[in-house]
Amino acid sequence: MPRVFSRARRVAEQMQKEIAVLLQREFKDPRVGLVTVSGVDLSGDLMYARVYVTFLGIDDSHVAEAVKVLNSASGFFRTMIGSRMKLRAVPHISFHYDSTLVTGMKLSGLISESVRHDQELQKEHSEE
């Protein structure tokens, strides 16, 4: 029976915290803006990490450039993770855009609009 809370999951959660702190305090690039780390997927052998990020206050047209900037700085993040975490081998880090926040906001807006429209229709029906 596999463990519910594996080593890969624990390391991924710690990496997420460390990368978030690094992005907030150490990494200074105006092309990136405000970045939130939404998750880290770590391979079973702990050699590859996919870091999912979202951006606040950045246009959709600049997202690809911001992800490219983060991927070009992956060596910096790998070095800093290596000095902050006790790992035999520091995983190769690749950044990926997580669009679930934007999609969720769009869906929430559509639901709110639909509810408002239904309320208006009910109000018109009750007046008749």
Residue with tokens 């208006």: 120
The predicted structure's pLDDT at residue 59: 76
Q: Which amino acid is at 25?
A: R
pLDDT of residue 126: 78
Mean pLDDT by 10 residues, the chain (128 residues): 70 93 89 89 91 85 90 93 89 91 83 88 78
How many other CB atoms are found less than 10 A from the CB of residue 52? 17
Q: Which residues contact 9 (CB under 8 A, 6 or more apart)?
A: 42
Domain extents for the chain?
A: 7-97, 100-128
pLDDT at 102: 75
pLDDT of residue 4: 54
In angstroms, the Cα distances linking 34 to 9, 23, 30, 94, 115 are 25, 8, 9, 18, 32
Q: Domain 7-97 has what CATH class?
A: alpha beta
Among residues 76, 85, 95, which one has the least CA distance to residue 18? 85
pLDDT in the model for residue 128: 65
